[in-house]
């Protein structure tokens, strides 16, 4: 028989040991060391040695790993594997080294206080993440439950909702749910004020007239900051359709410009990853600003020129070439295995490279032309954008 796990992770609620199951109580009784935030340690009584979890969090993981083999308990909030510490901790361990006993999650408690269907409510944790991650979800009628860093983050949340045009949103601030200090404040983002204490979360019913991010590819160009170099809306929609993002995939966006392709790729699904390569520092700043504003700060931005800047990146599932097209770059990309390639060209020289690639490798070659009606005196006429040649493979 294998040895019993040395680590037990226990989700502790604000009601302290009263909410623990028999297995959790037994683990606490037999532990030699108990680690956790000081707030959690203050809720229990134990003869074990107690160690407050340090800041930064990663230091606590290091300290815990040095105790490997000693019977330990780690206290976390609620469900350790729902925006909790469980995933980070167990990522350093073998599966037979630990077991966990979850408590009642803050999301479940909040939904039950409000009567919200949890299966139709967006739940997210923003303890260490920026509030801009809410941006893709801000649409009238959407319900969100958001875990927040501390009381100060509640004020930041109300300011963010106002600034994005959703100050009319109903907000319920919930402190210390499930414990004797529980308090609920019902208000709107416009009217929200006061002091709030950790642990705290907010339930938001979105309302207002701020711009909503469409779910379809091809966001309005006005949502992006740009110096004029960007894949425009209609071509972007066609390009993303050809790239065909699938859950869990990683994109290389080469010649990022304003970052529009990489950003919209990430907006398709939270499991997607993207690396944008751009040689100009001023455009790097634009790309990062756009990614933050649209809620995908996880975009990986690399300053450099392809193909040299590509060699240390994680292997992609799809590659988009929107700028810097050259024979050397195509040779490098074509040398990758099991990768979808989409390249756009505007100049005759770049178009010739794509025509040659199509002749050698096959795939599909398309030409897209977009015209927009513009005033011509008292009437209107068509203004033609530069035609785009697109090669995709396979």
Q: Is the pLDDT of residue 295 over 70?
A: yes
Four-point Cα dihedral 59, 63, 68, 70, nearest 10: -140
For residue 92, name the pLDDT band (cuts at 50, 70, 90).
Answer: very high
Q: Is the pLDDT of residue 182 over 80?
A: yes
**Residue 324 located in a structural domain:** yes
Q: Is the pLDDT of residue 2 over 60?
A: no
Phi-psi region at 189: left, alpha or beta (left = phi > 0; alpha = psi -120 to 50): alpha
Specify the CATH number for the domain of residue 146. 3.30.950.10
pLDDT at 189: 98
Of residues 180, 113, 126, 178, the one with CA closest to residue 154: 126
Whole-number mean pLDDT of the chain?
95
Q: Is 146 in the same domain as 233?
A: no
Q: Is 33 in the same domain as 69?
A: yes
pLDDT at 228: 84
Q: Is 112 in the same domain as 98?
A: no
Mean pLDDT of 183-198: 95
For residue 358, name the pLDDT band (cuts at 50, 70, 90).
Answer: very high
Query: What CA–CA distance (Å, rounded) separates 363 from 326?
Result: 18
Q: Is 292 in the same domain as 189?
A: no
**Residue 59 located in a structural domain:** yes
Q: Which residue has the higher pLDDT, 3 or 237?
A: 237
Q: Is 182 in the same domain as 235?
A: no
Specify the CATH number for the domain of residue 331. 3.40.50.150
Ramachandran angles phi, psi of 327, nearest 5°: -65, -35
Task: Identify the domain boundary among 43, 69, 104.
Answer: 104
For residue 1, name the pLDDT band (cuts at 50, 70, 90).
Answer: very low
- Tokens 């897209």 label which residue? 368
Q: Is 89 in the same domain as 142?
A: no
Which sign, positive or negative, has the C-alpha torsion 259, 262, 268, 273? negative
**Could you tell me if 329 and 310 are in contact, meaning their C-beta atoms sit under 8 angstroms apart?**
no
**Residue 2 located in a structural domain:** no
The two tokens of residue 188 are 């709107």
**Residue 1 located in a structural domain:** no
DSSP string, 326-376: -HHHHHHHHTSSS-EEEEEE-SHHHHHHHHHHHHHH--EEEEE--EEEEEE
Q: Is 273 in the same domain as 379?
A: yes
Q: Is 242 in the same domain as 381?
A: yes
pLDDT at 18: 86
Of residues 370, 279, 289, the one with CA closest to residue 322: 279
Q: Is the pLDDT of residue 167 over 60?
A: yes
Specify the CATH number for the domain of residue 61. 3.40.1010.10
Mean pLDDT of 381-394: 95
**Could you tell me if 305 and 279 are in contact, meaning their C-beta atoms sit under 8 angstroms apart?**
yes
pTM over 0.85: yes
Q: Is 82 in the same domain as 123?
A: no
Query: What CA–CA distance (Å, rounded) separates 157 from 144?
Result: 12
**Residue 91 located in a structural domain:** yes
**Residue 211 located in a structural domain:** no
Q: Is 245 in the same domain as 274?
A: yes
Print the domain residue range for 339: 221-393
Q: Where is average pLDDT lowest: 17-26, 43-52, 86-95, 115-124?
A: 17-26
pLDDT at 17: 87
Domain count, the chain: 3
Q: Is 113 in the same domain as 262?
A: no
Task: Identify the domain boundary among 80, 104, 128.
Answer: 104
Mean pLDDT of 159-180: 97
Ramachandran angles phi, psi of 353, nearest 5°: -65, -40
């Amino acid at each position: 028989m294998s040895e019993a796990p040395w680590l037990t992770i226990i989700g502790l609620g604000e009601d302290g040991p009263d909410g623990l199951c028999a297995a959790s109580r037994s683990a606490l009784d037999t532990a030699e060391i108990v680690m956790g935030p000081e707030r959690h340690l203050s809720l229990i009584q134990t003869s074990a040695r107690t160690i407050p979890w340090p800041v930064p969090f990663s230091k606590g993981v290091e300290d815990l790993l040095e105790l490997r083999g000693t019977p330990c308990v780690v206290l976390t909030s609620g469900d350790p594997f729902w925006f909790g510490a469980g995933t980070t901790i167990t990522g350093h361990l073998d599966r037979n080294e630990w077991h966990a006993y979850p408590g009642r999650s803050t999301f479940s408690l909040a939904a039950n206080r409000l009567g919200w269907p949890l299966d139709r409510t967006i739940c997210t944790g923003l303890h260490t993440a920026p509030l801009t991650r809410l941006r893709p979800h801000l649409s009238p009628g959407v319900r969100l439950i958001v875990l927040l860093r501390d009381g100060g983050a509640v004020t930041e949340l109300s300011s963010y909702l106002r600034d994005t045009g959703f100050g009319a949103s109903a907000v319920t601030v919930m402190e210390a749910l499930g414990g004797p200090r529980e308090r609920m404040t019902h208000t709107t983002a416009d009217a929200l004020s006061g002091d709030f204490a950790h642990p705290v979360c907010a339930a938001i019913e979105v309302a207002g007239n701020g711009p909503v991010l469409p779910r379809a590819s091809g966001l309005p160009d006005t949502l992006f900051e740009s110096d004029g170099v960007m894949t425009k809306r209609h071509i972007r929609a066609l390009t993303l359709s050809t790239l065909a993002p699938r859950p869990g995939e990683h994109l290389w966006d080469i010649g990022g410009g304003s970052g529009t392709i990489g950003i919209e790729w990430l907006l398709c699904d939270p499991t997607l990853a993207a690396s944008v390569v751009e040689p100009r520092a001023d455009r790097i700043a634009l790309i990062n600003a756009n990614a933050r504003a649209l809620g995908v700060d996880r975009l990986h931005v690399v300053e450099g020129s392809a193909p040299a800047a590509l060699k240390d990146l994680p292997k992609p599932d799809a590659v988009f070439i929107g700028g810097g097209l050259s024979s050397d770059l195509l040779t490098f990309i074509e040398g990758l295995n099991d990768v979808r390639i989409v390249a756009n060209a505007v100049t005759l020289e770049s178009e010739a490279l794509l025509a040659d690639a199509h002749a050698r490798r096959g795939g599909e070659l398309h030409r897209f032309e977009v015209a927009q009606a513009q005033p011509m005196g008292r009437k209107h006429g068509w203004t033609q954008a530069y035609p785009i040649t697109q090669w995709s493979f396979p």
